[in-house]
A and B are shown apart, each in its own frame.
Chain A
Amino acid sequence: MSLINLIKIALKALQRNKLRALLTMLGIIIGVASVIAMVAIGQGSKQSIHDQLSNMGTNMITVQPASNLSGGVRIAGSSFQTLTSKDITALKTGAPDITEISPAVSSKGQAITGALNWPTTMTGVSIEYLDIRKVTIKDGIAFTQNDVLTSAKVCLIGQTVIDNLFPNGENPIGKVIRFGHIPFQIIGVLNPKGFNAFGQDQDDILIAPYTTVQKRILATIYYSNIYASAANENVTNAAVSEITRTLRESHRLTAAEDNDFTVRTQQELIATLSSTSGLLTVLLTVIAGISLVIGGIGIMNIMYVSVTERTREIGLRMSIGARGKDILLQFLMEAVIISITGGVIGVLLGFLSTWLVTLILKWPTVVSQSSVLLSFVVCAVTGIFFGYYPALKASRLDPIEALRYE
């Protein structure tokens, strides 16, 4: 029998029991819709966590001086001075996976304007730092390469410092504040970043050219650390090894010597958080998968009822020339049509409910193509799997007995 006839016969049979077909479909519809919606919610939260982390600079790499032995005494890394401008120059050529690099020096001190003062940290960096740390400027401008070369006394100011130095809401741009003994002109206001994961206020900051901080405040040629960003998260590890190799060369360390610096990435943090929300996705998928299986069992149940109820019809079809295979395919086709139609409606409902979740609950959602494809394939397979046994039962009926069935 041709496929078209097969589909026609199955459709006619389903038409005779529209409500029942619809109710059977409902299991699949809900199953597929929930798979899509659940995975979308899971993926959405994963994506949003990921985005937040990316905002912190997920591809950021930090190089710090490491503790080292000095005459048998371990010295704390931060007090150790190993990173210099020579390292920056070396890294610019020696680590191709790095796109941006910035030295950093910092100094704690009192920021003073008029009668008000506030203890804060001044970080001296190059312009690239803003990109690496995803720091953006709300108002005003960033300092320029020329400011770095001339050790200009300009700075960018964080929101917390503004709140404490300019409590009356004056526009800080153009104002001059003192840090230590040095007057700095404020040229830009940073967008607030809030507290970081460790409870540090990321807005309690002043940012100035590193040359200014080095020469005018600290009087040092060393950097307290180096920030770099890898081209993307995937090459972060490659960038780390390039940095390590380059710095070992630059510091002339022999094979036997430990690194006098440490290289850190944000990867571990991302991995942990991703795996948490990955777990969420798996959990939701499993729940949704269970509902698909239940939908499939619903199909099997109805198909069994249908086969029993239509025993005479099966007998008749066999007596007028239907082979066992034709009967098998007919019932299988009915099950597949139910599950695929249910699947299509389920996909639409899944999109709709995902859209509603985003609209009403404001939850981030990402409908992944794979979940749509997967649930669709699963429901087709469900139809075949759960429709097969009832169909097999039908095809093995003895036409003589089936015709006399009451």
Chain B
Amino acid sequence: MSKKILEIKDLKRDFIMGSETVHALRGISFDVEAGEFVTIMGSSGSGKTTLLNILGCLDRPTIGNYFLDGVDVKLLTRDELAQLRNHKIGFVFQSYNLLPRTTALENVELPLLYNKDISAVERRERAVHALEAVKLADRFDHTPSQLSGGQQQRVAIARALVNEPVMILADEATGNLDSRTSYDIMALMQELNSHQGKTIVFVTHEPDIASFSSRTIQLRDGMIQKDYKNEHTRSAKEVLADLPNADDYAKQK
């Protein structure tokens, strides 16, 4: 039995909009164990984003418990939440959210700047290492505007890896990318999951993307509709290899 990274028990989240109360999440329970690659699926309005915010410690549940790596998130202050995000979560966003006019290396270093236990030398070392892990060793000094979408997302993944989080939390991380680049990113995710044992929680609305994960949780109207293991997890690497090798794709990559 491996270690539980996420424990969610009967989680509810209400928003008060004027006189109405909107029940975004109506009671969700699931666990994620270390080394799992979970996709959370759902159409818009299903509570996906609300769940993501709570998983990312950006928001707190109204009712219910959320344990991240054994820490009860509900009891933490705003500052403690920030520290928890810094130490335990690596975010990957749909729109990359890299700092403009800042080199890839400096972008990757960013989370470590908010961790006072890490020296400047170690910071640089780890950032270099993380960029090498996403195969961008030759792009250290490139600013986001000098990188393609796929490369920018890989910088963002390196940034998510650099603080050695217990979980990578991706929010529609392939949403802005063409399918070939998406597969490329998914291949990277799969590699991180299988080779480095990273726990990944990937929020998406594309069933195609979900098929690369080992487990899928489907949300509907704030409840879990389905939670199933993928018997036949596809390998993004193989899918990528099967794609017609069009010239424009090759160039873009």
User: Which A residues lie at the B interface, using CB under 8 A?
Assistant: 1-2, 4-5, 8-9, 12, 15-16, 312-313, 315-326, 399-400, 403
Contact = CB atoms under 8 A, between A and B. Distances in A.
B59 interface: yes
Contacts of B91: 319-320
B17 to A, nearest CB: 14
Which 7 residue pairs of A and B lie closest in terms of their CB atoms, listed nearest first? A321-B86, A321-B114, A323-B82, A320-B111, A316-B97, A323-B79, A16-B101
Nearest to A402: B58
Given A5-B113, A12-B106, A320-B110, A403 B83 contact: no
A40 to B, nearest CB: 40
Of A1, A4, A321, which is in contact with the most chain B CB atoms at under 10 Å from its CB?
A321
B75 to A, nearest CB: 17
18 contacts: A1-B113, A8-B113, A12-B102, A312-B97, A316-B97, A316-B99, A319-B58, A320-B91, A320-B111, A320-B159, A321-B111, A322-B82, A323-B78, A323-B83, A326-B114, A399-B58, A403-B93, A403-B97
Nearest to B119: A2
For the residues of A in contact with B, the DSSP-based class is helix
B53 A318 contact: no
A313 B82 contact: no
B251 interface: no
Contacts of B100: 16
A322 to B, nearest CB: 5
B78 A321 contact: no
Nearest to A398: B58
B99 A313 contact: yes
Contacts of B113: 1, 5, 8-9
Nearest to A318: B82
Contacts of B102: 12, 16
B115 interface: yes
B195 interface: no
A321 B85 contact: yes
Interface residues of B, number: 28
Interface string B48-92: 000001001011000000000000000000110011011100010
Contacts of A5: 113
Interface string B190-228: 000000000000000000000000000000000000000
B58 A322 contact: no
Contacts of A4: 120
B116 A2 contact: yes
Nearest to B169: A319
A397 B78 CA distance: 12
A8 B123 CA distance: 14
B156 to A, nearest CB: 10
A322 B78 contact: no
Contacts of A313: 99
Contacts of A316: 93, 97, 99
Of A1, A12, A316, A325, which is in contact with the most chain B CB atoms at under 10 Å from its CB?
A316
Given A1-B114, A320-B114, A321-B83, 13 more contacts: A1-B116, A8-B113, A12-B106, A318-B85, A319-B56, A321-B82, A321-B111, A321-B115, A323-B83, A325-B79, A326-B82, A400-B53, A400-B58
A321 B101 contact: no
Contacts of A317: 110, 114
Contacts of A312: 97
Contacts of B163: 320-321
Contacts of B59: 400
A12 B56 CA distance: 27
Nearest to A310: B99
B25 to A, nearest CB: 14
Contacts of B114: 1, 317, 320-323, 326
Nearest to A315: B97
A9 to B, nearest CB: 6
A322 B112 CA distance: 10
Nearest to A320: B111
Contacts of B78: 323-324
Contacts of A400: 53, 58-59
Nearest to A325: B79
Contacts of B99: 313, 316
B77 to A, nearest CB: 10
B97 A324 contact: no
Nearest to A406: B95
Contacts of B120: 4
A325 B110 CA distance: 16
Nearest to B115: A321
A344 B132 CA distance: 42
Contacts of B83: 321, 323
Contacts of B79: 323-325
B85 A320 contact: yes
A316 B78 CA distance: 15
A322 B99 CA distance: 15
A228 B99 CA distance: 77
Contacts of A326: 82, 114
A317 B98 CA distance: 10
